[in-house]
Structure 1
Amino acid sequence: MMSRYRAAAVALTTMLAGGVLVGCSTAGDGLEEPAMTTVAAADEGASTQSSSAQPSSKEKPEPEKKCASLAKDPREQYPTGNERLGRMPAVVGSGDLHVNFWIGGVENNYDPCAELSWITFAGGRGYEDGPAGTGASITDGLALYINGEPVGEMREFDRIENIQRLSPSSAEFSWGEVRNGTAAGVTHRFTVTLKNDGGKLVVDGPDAQAFYDQWDRDTGQYLLGHDG
């Protein structure tokens, strides 16, 4: 027969064993919870990466650039060089229709996709049978293009000295004028900034009026795109 003290010891041992088992079970449950938290964090990270990889609704693709398509490509009709390329007849209403601009050289900077581009011509005036060949007949010409389209016809300038791009939509243009006779040569020089402003030609600078006087005058305009 078990004594009172032995029975108490057995009971205590049984209780301790049960506590250890309960403690192990509790500890095991505690280890599983961080694993679940880790998985949730990983899922959240993957979701964030997926979201950041998608383009923002505010990011809009750039519009495609539109390029002009003229009936006659100026790059082919007026290639850069000193080759004689024929004549440009005078525009109706711009002086003597028998006068032509005979092309003796070209510097072609035409771009059908550019906001502003140009072609400069060297040559001289003459009739249909050829250039006059005199000092007074020697002149230059300028053709301007906005968005690949010509700004009217080619205009005559006594001497084109320089034209250089300032930005996609602007250029600096310098020219000289012979005002005191051929022997004196160029006596007046001018510089302006040419701009494409919303699809229209705008001229800036102190010499802007001198440019418009030359560009808008009744004489000295010649047909672009003429064969011959």
Structure 2
Amino acid sequence: MENTTKKIEDILKKASGEKLDIACKIYREISVCAGHESEALEYLCSYSENEESSGEWIVDEEITEEEKHQYVSSYGKMIDGSLEALLRENLPVKEFYSKLWEMIQNNTILESEKKKAFALYYIWIDARIPYFELEEGLEMSNKEYREYIKTHEEVLKKARFILLTPTDQKTQRASRLVKLLDELSDEKEKAVLMAQILEMRAKSSGVVRIVKGKAAERREG
């Protein structure tokens, strides 16, 4: 396992080229790490995001642009759906990566090494990776939620104003919203306000991108 993580780290630190081709090399390293594949996958997903390559060597093209577009079109939604289903389970971290690796390896539609490497790549570029197990969030009925909104109309109006008013720095807007949250003493009040802020932010920004790079991938495909 240590040897595999070292090889993955070496690739990330030195390789230059298309990320999909880099993913092909990493996939092979993970797949031969018998008994520790999910741990190697976790290592890749958890520690690669901020790794910068020196570009000492260039990886060979393993998947052409035409193949890449075909794979995005044919398998992108399926991979997203499988990942989404796993995320909904809110599994412990080790179990999540174990099932994620099984999903890549055991999916009969991904019958070739190239397609499995593409699945690894498509998961790797997802903004919901690295994975975290989350604590149980606050739940309330729709009726109670609406009552909180009605009771705190002025606070919500102010939050909307803060979101839409131009500022010189993002931290100015953020600090004002934090202060607004701090003025509320009840956990449910804060949760409802935060939910409304997120909803307002999504509407003001148009479509919220939940995956990094995938919008461009699909446009190209």
Q: Which interval holds the TM-score relative to the shorter structure?
A: under 0.3
> Is the helix fraction higher in 1 or 2?
2
TM-score normalised according to structure 1 size: 0.20
> Is the strand fraction higher in 1 or 2?
1
